[in-house]
Amino acid sequence: MELKVLAGSANPALAQRVARELGLPLSEAELGRFPDGEVRLRLAESVRGADVYVIQPTSPPVNDHLMELLLFADALRRSSARRINAVIPYFGYARQDKQTKGREPISAKVVADLLERVGVHRVIAVDLHAPQIQGFFNIPVDHLSAVRLFAEYLVREGLTQNAVIVSPDAGRAEEARRLSELLELPMAMLAKRRTGPTETEVTYVIGEVKGLRPILIDDIVSTGGTIRRGVEALVAAGARPEAVVMATHPVLVGPARENLAHEGIERVVFTDTIPLSDNPGYVVLSTAPLLAEAIRRVHTHRSVSELLAHQGPVDPLFSNA
Protein backbone atom coordinates (compact mmCIF):
# COMPACT_ATOMS: atom_id res chain seq x y z
CA MET A 1 0.00 0.00 0.00
CA GLU A 2 1.43 3.39 -1.01
CA LEU A 3 2.24 5.87 1.78
CA LYS A 4 1.39 9.55 1.30
CA VAL A 5 1.86 12.56 3.60
CA LEU A 6 -0.28 15.69 3.40
CA ALA A 7 0.06 18.97 5.27
CA GLY A 8 -2.55 21.46 6.42
CA SER A 9 -1.68 25.10 7.01
CA ALA A 10 -1.16 24.80 10.78
CA ASN A 11 2.47 23.61 10.72
CA PRO A 12 3.78 22.98 7.19
CA ALA A 13 7.41 23.17 8.36
CA LEU A 14 6.92 20.22 10.72
CA ALA A 15 5.11 18.27 8.00
CA GLN A 16 8.02 18.91 5.64
CA ARG A 17 10.50 17.65 8.24
CA VAL A 18 8.42 14.51 8.85
CA ALA A 19 8.22 13.82 5.11
CA ARG A 20 11.97 14.29 4.83
CA GLU A 21 12.53 11.79 7.67
CA LEU A 22 10.37 9.32 5.76
CA GLY A 23 12.22 9.98 2.51
CA LEU A 24 9.02 11.14 0.80
CA PRO A 25 7.82 14.33 -0.85
CA LEU A 26 4.75 16.02 0.60
CA SER A 27 1.72 15.19 -1.50
CA GLU A 28 0.19 18.23 -3.16
CA ALA A 29 -3.07 19.88 -2.19
CA GLU A 30 -4.64 23.19 -3.10
CA LEU A 31 -5.59 24.88 0.16
CA GLY A 32 -6.99 28.37 0.39
CA ARG A 33 -9.98 30.46 1.43
CA PHE A 34 -13.13 31.60 -0.30
CA PRO A 35 -13.77 35.37 -0.12
CA ASP A 36 -15.98 34.90 2.95
CA GLY A 37 -13.25 32.99 4.82
CA GLU A 38 -14.51 29.45 4.26
CA VAL A 39 -11.82 26.82 3.71
CA ARG A 40 -11.31 25.78 0.09
CA LEU A 41 -9.53 22.47 -0.49
CA ARG A 42 -8.73 20.19 -3.41
CA LEU A 43 -6.34 17.23 -3.47
CA ALA A 44 -3.93 17.78 -6.37
CA GLU A 45 -3.02 14.12 -6.91
CA SER A 46 -4.59 10.69 -6.73
CA VAL A 47 -4.77 9.00 -3.32
CA ARG A 48 -6.78 5.96 -4.42
CA GLY A 49 -5.83 2.93 -2.34
CA ALA A 50 -3.15 4.88 -0.41
CA ASP A 51 -2.30 4.97 3.29
CA VAL A 52 -2.52 8.75 3.88
CA TYR A 53 -1.26 10.76 6.87
CA VAL A 54 -2.53 14.33 7.30
CA ILE A 55 -0.26 16.37 9.59
CA GLN A 56 -2.29 19.13 11.19
CA PRO A 57 -2.09 20.33 14.81
CA THR A 58 -5.32 22.02 15.87
CA SER A 59 -3.48 25.01 17.29
CA PRO A 60 -4.74 28.62 17.20
CA PRO A 61 -6.75 29.59 15.27
CA VAL A 62 -8.11 26.24 16.40
CA ASN A 63 -11.46 26.42 14.58
CA ASP A 64 -9.81 27.09 11.20
CA HIS A 65 -7.25 24.33 11.63
CA LEU A 66 -9.81 21.83 12.87
CA MET A 67 -12.08 22.54 9.90
CA GLU A 68 -9.16 22.07 7.52
CA LEU A 69 -8.45 18.67 9.06
CA LEU A 70 -12.09 17.59 8.75
CA LEU A 71 -12.22 18.67 5.11
CA PHE A 72 -8.97 16.83 4.35
CA ALA A 73 -10.47 13.66 5.79
CA ASP A 74 -13.69 14.08 3.82
CA ALA A 75 -11.79 14.72 0.57
CA LEU A 76 -9.63 11.64 1.17
CA ARG A 77 -12.66 9.45 1.88
CA ARG A 78 -14.40 10.66 -1.27
CA SER A 79 -11.16 10.06 -3.24
CA SER A 80 -10.99 6.39 -2.17
CA ALA A 81 -7.96 6.57 0.13
CA ARG A 82 -7.63 3.18 1.78
CA ARG A 83 -6.63 4.52 5.23
CA ILE A 84 -6.98 8.05 6.59
CA ASN A 85 -4.65 8.86 9.49
CA ALA A 86 -4.90 12.19 11.33
CA VAL A 87 -1.51 13.18 12.76
CA ILE A 88 -2.44 15.82 15.34
CA PRO A 89 0.76 16.83 17.17
CA TYR A 90 -1.25 19.28 19.30
CA PHE A 91 -4.83 18.22 20.02
CA GLY A 92 -6.94 21.33 20.68
CA TYR A 93 -10.22 21.48 22.55
CA ALA A 94 -8.68 19.16 25.14
CA ARG A 95 -9.17 21.29 28.25
CA GLN A 96 -12.87 20.46 28.53
CA ASP A 97 -12.43 16.71 28.78
CA LYS A 98 -15.04 16.30 31.52
CA GLN A 99 -17.86 18.19 33.19
CA THR A 100 -16.48 20.05 36.20
CA LYS A 101 -19.70 22.05 36.59
CA GLY A 102 -23.21 21.58 35.33
CA ARG A 103 -24.30 22.50 31.79
CA GLU A 104 -20.80 22.24 30.26
CA PRO A 105 -19.92 20.43 27.02
CA ILE A 106 -17.22 17.78 26.79
CA SER A 107 -15.43 19.46 23.91
CA ALA A 108 -12.75 16.80 23.43
CA LYS A 109 -15.45 14.17 22.88
CA VAL A 110 -17.16 16.38 20.30
CA VAL A 111 -13.89 16.65 18.33
CA ALA A 112 -13.36 12.88 18.57
CA ASP A 113 -16.87 12.28 17.19
CA LEU A 114 -16.29 14.72 14.32
CA LEU A 115 -13.04 13.04 13.30
CA GLU A 116 -14.64 9.60 13.29
CA ARG A 117 -17.71 10.85 11.42
CA VAL A 118 -15.67 12.18 8.49
CA GLY A 119 -13.84 8.89 8.08
CA VAL A 120 -10.57 9.10 10.02
CA HIS A 121 -9.27 5.60 10.73
CA ARG A 122 -6.49 6.44 13.22
CA VAL A 123 -5.18 9.37 15.26
CA ILE A 124 -1.53 10.00 16.17
CA ALA A 125 -1.05 12.67 18.85
CA VAL A 126 1.72 13.95 21.11
CA ASP A 127 1.19 14.57 24.84
CA LEU A 128 -2.58 14.86 25.05
CA HIS A 129 -3.65 17.30 27.75
CA ALA A 130 -5.69 14.49 29.30
CA PRO A 131 -4.74 10.87 28.51
CA GLN A 132 -8.35 9.75 28.93
CA ILE A 133 -9.15 11.52 25.65
CA GLN A 134 -7.97 8.30 23.98
CA GLY A 135 -11.10 6.67 25.37
CA PHE A 136 -13.35 9.14 23.54
CA PHE A 137 -12.42 7.47 20.25
CA ASN A 138 -13.67 4.18 18.83
CA ILE A 139 -10.66 4.10 16.48
CA PRO A 140 -6.98 3.51 17.36
CA VAL A 141 -5.15 6.42 19.00
CA ASP A 142 -1.36 6.37 19.22
CA HIS A 143 -0.43 8.69 22.07
CA LEU A 144 3.25 9.66 21.78
CA SER A 145 5.35 11.37 24.43
CA ALA A 146 8.07 14.02 24.22
CA VAL A 147 9.60 12.96 27.56
CA ARG A 148 12.52 11.17 25.92
CA LEU A 149 13.33 14.24 23.80
CA PHE A 150 13.46 16.37 26.93
CA ALA A 151 15.60 13.83 28.79
CA GLU A 152 18.15 13.63 25.98
CA TYR A 153 18.34 17.42 25.76
CA LEU A 154 18.95 17.80 29.51
CA VAL A 155 21.75 15.22 29.44
CA ARG A 156 23.30 16.73 26.33
CA GLU A 157 23.32 20.21 27.90
CA GLY A 158 24.62 19.03 31.28
CA LEU A 159 21.58 20.31 33.19
CA THR A 160 21.01 17.26 35.39
CA GLN A 161 23.52 18.04 38.15
CA ASN A 162 21.89 19.04 41.47
CA ALA A 163 18.48 19.16 39.83
CA VAL A 164 14.95 18.10 40.71
CA ILE A 165 12.11 17.27 38.30
CA VAL A 166 8.96 19.23 39.15
CA SER A 167 5.41 18.50 38.08
CA PRO A 168 3.34 21.71 37.97
CA ASP A 169 0.24 19.80 39.10
CA ALA A 170 -1.10 16.32 39.73
CA GLY A 171 -2.12 15.95 36.09
CA ARG A 172 1.50 16.02 34.90
CA ALA A 173 2.83 13.79 37.69
CA GLU A 174 3.14 10.71 35.45
CA GLU A 175 5.28 12.54 32.86
CA ALA A 176 7.42 14.03 35.63
CA ARG A 177 7.88 10.57 37.12
CA ARG A 178 9.00 9.18 33.74
CA LEU A 179 11.50 12.00 33.31
CA SER A 180 12.85 11.58 36.85
CA GLU A 181 13.32 7.84 36.28
CA LEU A 182 15.07 8.38 32.95
CA LEU A 183 17.49 10.85 34.53
CA GLU A 184 17.64 9.21 37.98
CA LEU A 185 16.70 12.52 39.61
CA PRO A 186 14.40 13.27 42.56
CA MET A 187 10.89 14.53 41.90
CA ALA A 188 8.70 17.21 43.45
CA MET A 189 5.21 18.50 42.72
CA LEU A 190 3.30 21.75 43.05
CA ALA A 191 -0.09 21.70 44.74
CA LYS A 192 -2.42 24.23 43.17
CA ARG A 193 -6.06 25.12 43.01
CA ARG A 194 -7.95 26.63 40.12
CA THR A 195 -9.32 30.13 40.71
CA GLY A 196 -10.82 30.60 37.23
CA PRO A 197 -11.03 29.01 33.78
CA THR A 198 -7.41 29.99 33.02
CA GLU A 199 -6.10 31.03 36.44
CA THR A 200 -4.52 28.90 39.18
CA GLU A 201 -2.91 29.50 42.55
CA VAL A 202 0.05 27.49 43.86
CA THR A 203 -0.62 26.58 47.49
CA TYR A 204 2.54 24.66 48.46
CA VAL A 205 5.47 22.57 47.22
CA ILE A 206 5.49 18.80 47.78
CA GLY A 207 9.01 17.37 47.99
CA GLU A 208 12.52 18.63 48.71
CA VAL A 209 13.78 21.36 46.37
CA LYS A 210 16.17 23.37 48.56
CA GLY A 211 19.48 24.06 46.83
CA LEU A 212 18.40 22.25 43.64
CA ARG A 213 17.76 23.45 40.08
CA PRO A 214 14.04 22.94 39.35
CA ILE A 215 13.17 21.39 35.99
CA LEU A 216 9.46 21.89 35.35
CA ILE A 217 7.78 19.67 32.75
CA ASP A 218 4.33 20.45 31.37
CA ASP A 219 2.29 19.68 28.28
CA ILE A 220 0.97 23.16 27.44
CA VAL A 221 2.12 26.69 28.19
CA SER A 222 -0.75 29.03 27.40
CA THR A 223 -0.53 32.29 29.36
CA GLY A 224 2.46 31.10 31.42
CA GLY A 225 0.87 32.27 34.65
CA THR A 226 0.96 28.84 36.28
CA ILE A 227 4.63 28.44 35.39
CA ARG A 228 5.57 31.87 36.77
CA ARG A 229 3.72 31.29 40.05
CA GLY A 230 5.22 27.81 40.29
CA VAL A 231 8.76 29.15 39.88
CA GLU A 232 8.08 31.80 42.53
CA ALA A 233 6.85 29.12 44.95
CA LEU A 234 9.89 26.93 44.25
CA VAL A 235 12.35 29.78 44.82
CA ALA A 236 10.52 30.70 48.02
CA ALA A 237 10.97 27.05 49.11
CA GLY A 238 14.74 27.31 48.60
CA ALA A 239 15.19 26.12 45.02
CA ARG A 240 17.89 27.77 42.93
CA PRO A 241 16.55 30.62 40.73
CA GLU A 242 17.82 28.77 37.65
CA ALA A 243 14.68 26.95 36.56
CA VAL A 244 14.42 25.05 33.29
CA VAL A 245 10.88 25.10 31.92
CA MET A 246 10.03 22.33 29.45
CA ALA A 247 6.68 21.99 27.69
CA THR A 248 5.53 20.15 24.59
CA HIS A 249 3.06 22.66 23.18
CA PRO A 250 3.90 26.41 23.05
CA VAL A 251 0.40 27.88 22.71
CA LEU A 252 1.71 31.18 24.16
CA VAL A 253 -1.16 33.64 24.33
CA GLY A 254 -1.60 36.87 26.25
CA PRO A 255 1.23 37.61 28.73
CA ALA A 256 3.00 34.26 28.15
CA ARG A 257 6.31 35.72 27.00
CA GLU A 258 6.41 38.18 29.89
CA ASN A 259 5.71 35.40 32.39
CA LEU A 260 8.40 33.17 30.87
CA ALA A 261 10.89 36.05 31.16
CA HIS A 262 10.72 35.75 34.96
CA GLU A 263 14.15 36.18 36.57
CA GLY A 264 13.90 32.75 38.18
CA ILE A 265 13.70 31.01 34.77
CA GLU A 266 17.05 30.33 33.12
CA ARG A 267 15.92 28.38 30.07
CA VAL A 268 12.68 27.55 28.23
CA VAL A 269 12.43 24.43 26.05
CA PHE A 270 9.54 23.59 23.71
CA THR A 271 8.93 21.17 20.85
CA ASP A 272 7.82 22.11 17.35
CA THR A 273 4.26 20.74 17.56
CA ILE A 274 3.13 24.38 17.25
CA PRO A 275 5.22 26.83 15.20
CA LEU A 276 6.57 29.88 17.02
CA SER A 277 5.94 33.08 15.08
CA ASP A 278 8.20 34.99 17.45
CA ASN A 279 10.98 33.17 19.31
CA PRO A 280 12.77 35.31 21.93
CA GLY A 281 15.43 32.68 22.52
CA TYR A 282 13.50 29.54 23.44
CA VAL A 283 15.03 26.15 22.63
CA VAL A 284 12.86 24.18 20.17
CA LEU A 285 13.25 20.39 19.86
CA SER A 286 11.89 18.66 16.78
CA THR A 287 9.24 15.95 17.07
CA ALA A 288 9.70 15.05 13.38
CA PRO A 289 11.84 11.91 14.00
CA LEU A 290 9.33 10.67 16.60
CA LEU A 291 6.32 11.29 14.36
CA ALA A 292 8.04 9.81 11.31
CA GLU A 293 8.95 6.64 13.19
CA ALA A 294 5.37 6.31 14.45
CA ILE A 295 4.06 6.70 10.88
CA ARG A 296 6.60 4.18 9.59
CA ARG A 297 5.56 1.64 12.23
CA VAL A 298 1.83 2.11 11.65
CA HIS A 299 2.29 1.77 7.89
CA THR A 300 4.30 -1.45 8.24
CA HIS A 301 2.07 -2.88 11.00
CA ARG A 302 4.78 -2.82 13.66
CA SER A 303 4.47 -1.92 17.33
CA VAL A 304 4.12 1.77 18.17
CA SER A 305 4.06 1.07 21.90
CA GLU A 306 7.81 0.38 21.75
CA LEU A 307 8.28 4.13 21.20
CA LEU A 308 6.61 4.69 24.56
CA ALA A 309 8.88 2.32 26.48
CA HIS A 310 10.88 4.75 28.61
CA GLN A 311 13.90 2.62 29.30
CA GLY A 312 16.35 4.51 31.48
CA PRO A 313 18.59 5.97 32.43
CA VAL A 314 19.41 8.04 29.36
CA ASP A 315 22.83 7.30 27.91
CA PRO A 316 24.79 10.57 27.51
CA LEU A 317 26.72 9.09 24.58
CA PHE A 318 23.50 8.25 22.80
CA SER A 319 22.15 11.71 23.56
CA ASN A 320 25.12 13.35 21.90
CA ALA A 321 24.78 11.21 18.79
Amino acid making up residue 36 = D
Q: What stretches of 69-185 adopt beta strand conformation (E)?
A: 83-88, 122-126, 141-144, 163-167
Instruction: Residue 18: name the closest of 198, 202, 288, 233 by CA.
Output: 288
* Residues labelled catalytic: 192
| Cα separation, 106 vs 165, whole angstroms | 32
Give burial (CB, 10 Å; 0-12/13-18/19+) of 161.
exposed
Report the C-alpha gap between 207 and 167 in whole angstroms: 11
In one letter, which amino acid is 123?
Answer: V
Q: What angle do CA 140, 2, 306 make, to 5 degrees?
A: 40
C-beta atoms surrounding 238 within 10 Å? 12
DSSP state of 305: G
